[in-house]
Chains A and B, each alone.
Chain A
Amino acid sequence: MSIETATKSEKQGAKASLLSNVNFAQIYRKYGTVLIFIGICILASLLSPTFLTEANLTNVLRQVVVVSLLACGVTFIIILGHIDVSLGSVLALCGVIATSVMVMTGSVVLAVCAGTAVGVLTGLINGFVITFFRIPSFIMTLAMTTVARGAVLLYTGGSPITGLGDFKIIGQGSLGPVPISVLILVAFVILSWVLLNKTKFGRYVYAVGGNERASRASGINPDSIVVKAFILNGILCGVAGIVLMSRINSGQPAGGVGYEFDAITAVVVGGTSLMGGTGTITGTIIGAMIIGVINNILNLLNVSSYWQQIIKGLIIAIAVILDVWTKSARNKKKA
């Protein structure tokens, strides 16, 4: 499907939905995640009087920053029809290198640059190996998971890096009532949104994810798009790592384990299809907020950690079922 036909068929889809009025699948496609988010918030405020307080909402925002940053990056990857399971370990590697540079030089700027540079490098390696050797991204990033974790353990000798000084401003400071980490997130969300919606790169991401062969035929170089997306993803991993290590005020080589799970869940809950070709940044952010609110309310209600794991798993399963179901409903309509 080329870009032109993609937009045409979407327009047709929109017309069809207008004509046939209420159709659950269509509504879910468009507003589902927002409705679920509002529903969960209402439920949470009924279950706990604390939930809707200003302090708690700021708290939730601060807590979703790291996973949201990762989710923004991996949205590009998933729209391209790829996957990245190395987010958590790459985050740890970037964050620890940043803290280590901070301790060595005492400069926040150098620390941030170093952490981001490591993200760029790992993204470049992932993207290059995947496109050059035609390796499934799942396998390559799985390999990167253990390599990055091994590297960070090797670098630190397994013990945390401490004595970070001013570094903690990034994750703990605030400008007025707004945490700096939340401002960083907002900046990167806007950047990601603009890249995906307002640039040629973004349109190519959809095109390559929708149908790689067709995109190649229409003159796009899919490999270069994939590599660029992995580099962008790496940068966001780096920023997420810096924010996380700054927040906990120490470089934790064992940090970030399983964060890729939360990030990918956020993306899928946010309506991005794991098959590639469709997805939005706004959806991803709402997905991340849904996960953040659920984590928050489960803790506020003191739900046992055993149940929390089960509930999180069910949410991802339900989101994927809805994704597949609404898609098949739409396809049937087309046919």
Chain B
Amino acid sequence: MKLFAKLALACAVSVSALSTGAASAAEKFIVGYANMADTDVFVMARKNAFIEAAKSDPAVEVNFSDANNDASKQLDQIDNFIAQKVNAIVVVPVDYQGIVPGVEKANAAGIPVIALGIQSAGGKYTFVGSKNIDAGRLQGEFMKANLPKDAKILYLEGTPGLSHTQERKKGFGDALGRTDVKTLASLSANYDRAEGMKVTEDWIQSFSKFDGIIAANDQMALGALEALKGANRVKGVLISGVDGVPDALTAIKAGEMSQTIFQDAAGQAKAAFEVVEGIKKGEQPPAERLVPFASITKENVNQFIKK
């Protein structure tokens, strides 16, 4: 496998040497891209976007590895990149804590590290991605502007014990900041559509009127929508989710859902590549390069459906 990779590298180098003439093997800037799991739809989309972005600079070459959600496998792969003396490592950490030894080893070897999408609990690196607290904040801002006076709302939490569940909820609470709005209830539906539906059905029984359901992801929001449809209560309820899945976009276009928050895979990949380019030019990489979430509502939903 390694031999094959080396051969492939040699071929690539010689081909590019032929084509550019001036570029030699020593001048190639090699990036090791340690992906979390090629099976994850979002993570894979971001990897493909990175490949696209990397095409803009023929002097940059990217080597990929896939940890398949195994934190220790990912550490081995980073060791390999360090042994290959790559010029920069882009890693999508499998685990926030588990990646630390890898980041520290790369630091010791003097190789700059970019953590993409997920941070590392330690070591020196550049974080490129979006902050979950901002997804909640965008939901809060939308509700602040659109909920009627003295509104009553319900919040569907994600799986308890995950950091992004807490962050999305906190971001929402921070940004809402309206004393007249009352939260009737807040329960977890484990990011699951069937559970979101079940909890909302129970809420429909408990509360004769509410004006908004805020969910920590789109699947729960869509489950809530099904429950409201079943009870004929869709009208007058603002529903907001996070992710921007196709179903949610369709529901927003139909006027059944009000908002979803889109995490920009392509934008994150592009930003990561820009940081790589900066390192190549010898610039000091920043500690953080944030890519904002996009709030999708009826006004701008069409431009996202096309994608």
Indicate if the CB atoms of B226 and A172 lie closer than 8 Å. Answer: yes
Indicate if the CB atoms of A59 and B193 lie closer than 8 Å. Answer: no
Which residues from A are CB-within-8-Å of B192? 252, 254-255, 257
Indicate if the CB atoms of B197 and A248 lie closer than 8 Å. Answer: yes
Closest chain A CB from B137 CB (angstroms): 23
Partner of B39, one of A50, A66, A158, A250: A158
Report the bound CA distance from A254 to B223 in whole Å.
14
Which residues from A are CB-within-8-Å of B230? 172
Q: What string of 1s and 0s marks CB contacts (under 8 Å) between B181-204 and chain A?
A: 000111110101110011101111
Indicate if the CB atoms of B187 and A302 lie closer than 8 Å. Answer: yes
Q: What string of 1s and 0s marks CB contacts (under 8 Å) between B202-228 and chain A?
A: 111110000000000001001100100
Indicate if the CB atoms of A48 and B219 lie closer than 8 Å. Answer: no
Indicate if the CB atoms of A53 and B194 lie closer than 8 Å. Answer: no
Q: Does chain A have a CB within 8 A of B57?
A: no
Known: A63-B198, A299-B187, A305-B160. A250 touches B193 (CB 8 A): yes
Known: A162-B247, A302-B187. A255 touches B193 (CB 8 A): yes
Q: What string of 1s and 0s marks CB contacts (under 8 Å) between A127-171 and chain B?
A: 000000000000000000000000001000111101000000000
Mostly, the B contact residues are helix
- Which of B187, B206, B246, B247 gathers most chain A CB within 10 Å? B206
Q: Does chain A have a CB within 8 A of B271?
A: no
Q: Does chain A have a CB within 8 A of B5?
A: no
Q: Does chain A have a CB within 8 A of B134?
A: no
Partner of B193, one of A248, A299, A302: A248
Q: Does chain B have a CB within 8 A of A249?
A: yes
Count class of interface residues, chain B: 20 to 34
Count class of interface residues, chain A: 20 to 34
Which residues from A are CB-within-8-Å of B246? 162
Known: A252-B193, A305-B187. A53 touches B205 (CB 8 A): yes
Q: List residues of chain A with CB under 8 Å of any chain B CB.
A: 48, 50, 53, 55-56, 59, 62-63, 66, 153, 157-160, 162, 172, 244, 247-250, 252, 254-257, 295-296, 299-300, 302, 304-306
Q: List residues of chain B with CB under 8 Å of any chain A CB.
A: 39-41, 157, 160, 184-188, 190, 192-194, 197-199, 201-206, 219, 222-223, 226, 230, 245-247, 250
> What are 29 pairs between A and B in contact, CB < 8 Å?
A50-B206, A56-B202, A59-B201, A59-B202, A62-B201, A63-B198, A63-B201, A158-B39, A159-B41, A160-B245, A160-B247, A244-B194, A248-B193, A248-B197, A248-B223, A250-B193, A252-B192, A252-B219, A255-B194, A257-B192, A299-B187, A299-B198, A299-B202, A299-B203, A300-B205, A300-B206, A302-B186, A304-B187, A306-B160
For the complex of A and B, list the 10 residue pairs with the smallest distance between their C-beta atoms, beginning with the closest. Answer: A305-B188, A299-B202, A56-B205, A302-B185, A248-B193, A158-B41, A300-B206, A50-B205, A248-B194, A162-B247
